[in-house]
Amino acid sequence: MAFLDILVYPDKRLRQRAEPVTVFDAELEKLVQDMAETMYAAPGIGLAAIQVNVLKRVVVMDLSEEKNDLKVFINPEITPLEGTQEFEEGCLSVPGVFASVERVERVRINAMDVKGNPFELETDGLLSVCIQHEVDHLNGKVFVDYLSRMKQDRVRKKLLKEQKESASQAA
Amino acid sequence: MAKPNPEKDRKRTSTSIQLVAARVLRDVIDQGRSLDRTLEAETARLDLSLRPVLMELAYGGCRKYYFLDGFLSKLLSKPIRRKDRMVHFLLVVGLYQLAYMRMPDHAAVDETVKALAASKQSWARGLVNGVLRAYLRQRDDHSLDKLELELPASALVSFPPFLFDAIYTCWPEYADSILKTSNHKPPMTLRVNQQKTTRLDYLALLAARSIDANPTAESTVGVILDNPVSVDRVPMFAEGWVSVQDESAQLCTEEMILAPGQRVLDACAAPGGKTCAVLEAEPSVKLTAVDLPERVETIRQNLARLGLQAEVRDSGLGEYADWWDGKHYDRILMDVPCSGTGVIRRHPDIRHRRQQGDFERFSAQQLDLLEDAWPMLAKSGMLLYVTCSIMPAENDEVIRQFIGRHSDASVQQVDTMVGINTEYGLQRLPGVHSGDGFYYCRLNKL
């Protein structure tokens, strides 16, 4: 197992579109394991492969307090069903920033597990928010994009400044 | 995605209780939600020590809403915009604190203004400060009394105009007492389980635990506590020695003239209070309790706690093909869904959740339920029709229509308790008789 490096906003690589997974092999299983490990260490509740610079449509998630309920979504597709909800979201690629984002309340998820078996579920609440957030990542989108231009600027400057500071400290 | 913001959670635990109370009032008054259910959801997230204050603000705010709202409209130069309802309800909470709570004036104002910040409505600080201080100024120079004279009569007793009018029309000579008592905090009344102990012994047990209590005047199994306590502090509650039940409701059992071995149907049984009362009074009856699937669980819980046996059926009364064994019942208890206008002191949100036309809607449903139950009553059996409504439309009027359709139904006077004899039944009114407002009518099958 290994901890992977998480790309930090406004890294351009977060803007790429991930490719569907076609091969379900040991390499994919290792990626999922490493991603889970990285997510738990962060600590986070969801991680998309693109955030660790892997251009595959892979999402790991664990919403439980006990960190014992790992969910894996390969090639996830979302169908919006009904309602809207607002939730204060944060992102491992945008550390320290939390902002309220409006999402669809109830969605249907079609995805595959790590072996390639398809499954379907309907959900609302945090799982719904989280999967929408992660699928955005797979499409090159970050939750900051939903904020006003002014707030986006502020986030960008804050993170660039922090990155500069940590770089100079390292040097 | 990152874990939800820990910083925000910290803020939430220090959340303003005034803001939570304002949110509860908005949900109940603007959105017609049930006070108890809204409170249940809010208190689950709340520090235990804050719960009593929230209860006081939410229950009290519901009780005094129309009165405080009346004042508010006099104190404001123009009404608060529809989209700023939270500010409106925070002002109601602020006024409630100033008028009814033992809280220093400055604290009541400050806490309300702080609640604005917590709800990101700091723009209204000047407004809220101004209104609350205007209230204090007018209270201190006694011009508030003058303002009070300008309020409509319905606002003075904190009732919506239509309900105020309806009560006055139905009970002109008693309306003052009814309205006044509906605004009082109700007493906590217990029903002693005769199968486990006696009222005398239980009163002795309460005395030993320094809980002040008195026997009820009419019910032979009732005990009234001087000060309400939560049920987990009621001695032997979990062991099934007592249940919480108003005196008027307790009196149902005596009305039914139960005899050993009778077949009894409790046709609208949830939450099971009267079901259990029947079994405690006459444990040898064969009792079937019916209510809708989402409601029966509480019946089972109550039976289990009290150590009583009944057949519980989760079904609509009208779908008796699904559950009835075809044998007629000697007694049917029909405590039908109603407007609850007799129990407003226990459920202050009822005044907010009723609208014009509700009484007619309830009466249509009540008549349907009676029609459903009647075929299951044995010849010379008796059906006891009960509501906690004080509206004749749901009471005598329903019976009038029912006996007009059924020549085999005859009314037998209710004579075992104090109350107002109406054309067909007996009405107890809050503030006039002891206990909640209830209506009873006995129908015999010829």
pLDDT, tens digit, 9 for 90 and up, residues B225-275: 999 998 989 999 999 999 999 999 999 998 999 999 999 999 999 999 999
Give the residue-averaged pLDDT of A21-45: 93
pLDDT band per the 50, 70, 90 thresholds, residue B148: confident
Minimum mean pLDDT among A66-70, B94-98, B435-439: which range? A66-70
Exposed, middle or buried, A87 (CB in 10 Å: 0-12/13-18/19+)? buried
CA B63 to chain CA centroid, Å, is 12
Residue B306 has pLDDT above 60, yes or no: yes
Check: CB of residue B234 under 8 Å from CB of residue B262. no
User: Distance (Å, rounded) from C-alpha B158 to C-alpha B148?
Assistant: 12
Mean pLDDT value across residues B410-420: 89
Tell me the average pLDDT across B68-78. Answer: 91
A130: closest CA of chain B, how far (Å): 7
Distance from B122 to chain A by nearest Cα, in Å?
19
Is residue A124 scored above 90 in pLDDT? Answer: no
* CATH number of the B6-158 domain: 1.10.940.10
Could you give the CA distance from residue B184 to residue B345 in angstroms, rounded to a whole number? 6
ipTM at complex level: 0.80
Fold of B188-244: Alpha-Beta Plaits (3.30.70)
Cβ distance of B8 and A130 shorter than 8 Å: no
By three-state DSSP, how is residue A47 classified?
strand
pLDDT at A140 over 80: yes
CA distance B249 to A74: 60
Q: What average pLDDT does the segment B23-40 reach?
A: 92
Residue B12, pLDDT above cutoff 80: no
**Average pLDDT of B171-180?**
96
The confidence score (pLDDT) of residue B11 equals 45
Are A44 and B2 in contact (CB < 8 Å)? yes
Note the CATH number of domain B248-445.
3.40.50.150
Coil vs helix vs strand at B381: strand
Q: Where are the beta strands (DSSP E) in B202-314?
A: 213-215, 222-225, 242-244, 263-266, 286-291, 311-314
Q: What percent of chain B has pLDDT over 70?
A: 98
Average pLDDT estimate for A10-35: 94
- Residue-wise pLDDT tens digits, B324-345: 999 999 999 999 999 999 999 9
Q: How confident is the model at residue B13 (pLDDT cuts 50, 70, 90)?
A: very low
Q: In this structure, what DSSP letter does residue B81 have?
A: P
Residues of A in contact with B4 (CB under 8 A): 45, 88, 90
Does residue B208 register a pLDDT over 80?
A: yes
Does A78 touch chain B if contact means CB atoms closer than 8 Å? no
Instruction: Give every CB contact of residue B3 below 8 A, 6+ residues apart in sequence.
Output: A43, A44, A45, A90
Query: How many residue contacts between A and B have a Cβ separation below 8 Å?
Result: 36
Average pLDDT of chain B is 92
Check if A76 contacts B (Cβ < 8 Å). no
A14 interface with B at CB cutoff 8 Å: no
* Interchain pair B2, A92: CB under 8 A: yes
In the three-class reduction of DSSP (H, G, I as helix; E, B as strand; rest coil), residue B294 is classed as coil
Provide the residue ranges of all domains of chain B, joining segments of one domain with +. 6-158, 188-244, 248-445
Average pLDDT over residues B24-48: 88
Q: Taking CB atoms and an 8 Å limit, are B5 and A90 in contact across chains?
A: yes
Contacts of A152 (CB under 8 A, 6+ apart): A144, A145
Q: How far apart, in whole angstroms, are the C-alpha atoms of residue B103 and residue B93? A: 13
Residue range B390-394: mean pLDDT, rounded: 97
Q: Is A119 on the interface with B (CB under 8 A)?
A: no
Q: What is the mean pLDDT of residues B12-27?
A: 83
Contacts of A98 in chain B (CB under 8 A): 2, 5, 7-8
Measured CA to CA, the distance from residue B314 to residue B295 in angstroms comes to 8
Q: What is the mean pLDDT of residues B286-309?
A: 94
How near does any CA of chain A get to the CA of B88, in Å? Answer: 23
Task: Report yes or no: B145 and B71 within 8 Å, Cβ to Cβ.
Answer: no
CB contact under 8 A, A90 and B1: yes
Token output for B193 = 């389980």
Confidence band (pLDDT; 50, 70, 90) for B45? confident
pLDDT tens digits, B114-127: 999 888 888 899 99
Would you mind telling me the total number of residues written for chain A in this entry? 171
What's the rounded Cα separation, in Å, for the pair B280 and B196?
A: 9
Query: What is the rounded CA–CA span in Å between residue A63 and residue A68?
Result: 9
Cβ within 8 Å, pair A89-B3: no
The distance of A39 to chain B (nearest Cα, Å) reads 9
Q: Do A91 and B7 touch (CB under 8 A)?
A: no
Please report, to the nearest 10 degrees, the dihedral formed by the alpha carbons of residues B157, B161, B163, B167 taken in order: 70
A18: Cβ contacts below 8 Å, ≥ 6 apart: A48, A49, A50, A54, A55, A56, A57, A58, A137, A138, A139
Whole-angstrom distance, CA of residue A54 vs CA of residue A18: 8
Helix (H, G, I), strand (E, B) or coil at A90: strand
pTM above 0.90, yes or no: no
Contact A43 B1 (CB under 8 A): no
Joined together, the tokens standing for residue A5 give 């490096």
Range scoring the smallest mean pLDDT among A96-105, A133-142, B9-18: B9-18
Rounded to a whole number of angstroms, the distance between the first and last alpha carbons of chain A is: 29
Q: Pick from A44, A98, A133: which is nearest to B8 by CB?
A: A98
Q: Which residues of A111-121 are buried (b: 16+ CB within 10 A; e: fewer)?
A: bbebeeeeeee
Specify whether the CB–CB gap between B193 and B244 falls below 8 A: no
Are B13 and B45 a contacting pair, CB within 8 Å? no
Nearest residue on chain A to B9, judged by CA atoms? A88
Q: Tell me which residues of A are annotated as active site.
A: 134
pLDDT given at position A64? 83
pLDDT tens-digit readout, A63-84: 887 788 899 999 999 999 988 8
Evaluate whether B336 touches B369 at the Cβ level (below 8 Å): yes
Q: What is the pLDDT of residue B8?
A: 54
User: What's the Cα-to-Cα distance from B208 to each of B148, B224, B340, rounded to whole Å?
Assistant: 47, 16, 36
Single out the catalytic residue among B62, B252, B338, B388.
B388
Instruction: Give the C-alpha separation, B350 to B358, whole Å.
Output: 12
- The whole-angstrom distance between B401's CA and the closest CA on chain A is 44
Residue B388: active-site member? yes
Are B2 and A133 a contacting pair at CB < 8 A?
no
Q: Which SS3 state, helix, strand or coil, does residue B41 take?
A: helix
Q: Same topology for domains B188-244 and B248-445, yes or no?
A: no
Chain A residues with beta carbon closer than 8 angstroms to that of B119: none
> Residue B9: its pLDDT value, please?
47
